[in-house]
């Protein structure tokens, strides 16, 4: 799965990752994530 930073904050850090690819038969594909359309902004309860 390819990921790229989606938006830099002026104070540093980022507001998530833009999905560039989803591996076949992966949990991400089973969850319905779409490359180029979806962004990952949290993992669990932690904001990226």
pLDDT for the residue numbered 30: 96
**Does 4 score more than 80 pLDDT?**
no
Task: Give the Cα separation of 37 and 11 in Å (integer).
Answer: 26
Report whether 18 belongs to an annotated binding site. Answer: yes
20 carries a ligand binding annotation: yes
Give residue 11's pLDDT: 46
How far apart are the C-alpha atoms of 8 and 43, rounded to whole Å?
18
Task: Report the predicted TM-score, pTM, of the whole model to 2 decimal places.
Answer: 0.58
Q: What is the domain extent for residue 20?
A: 3-47
Q: 26 and 34 in contact (C-beta within 8 Å)?
A: no
- 9-38 per-position pLDDT tens digit: 554 455 788 889 999 999 999 999 999 999
Least Cα distance to 1 among 18, 22, 16 occurs for 22
Q: For the chain, how many structural domains are there in total?
A: 1
The predicted structure's pLDDT at residue 3? 56
């Amino acid at each position: 799965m390819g990921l790229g930073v989606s938006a830099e904050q002026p104070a540093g850090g980022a507001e998530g990752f833009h999905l560039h690819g989803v591996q076949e038969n992966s949990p991400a594909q089973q969850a319905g994530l779409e490359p180029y359309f979806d962004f990952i902004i949290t993992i669990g309860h932690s904001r990226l």
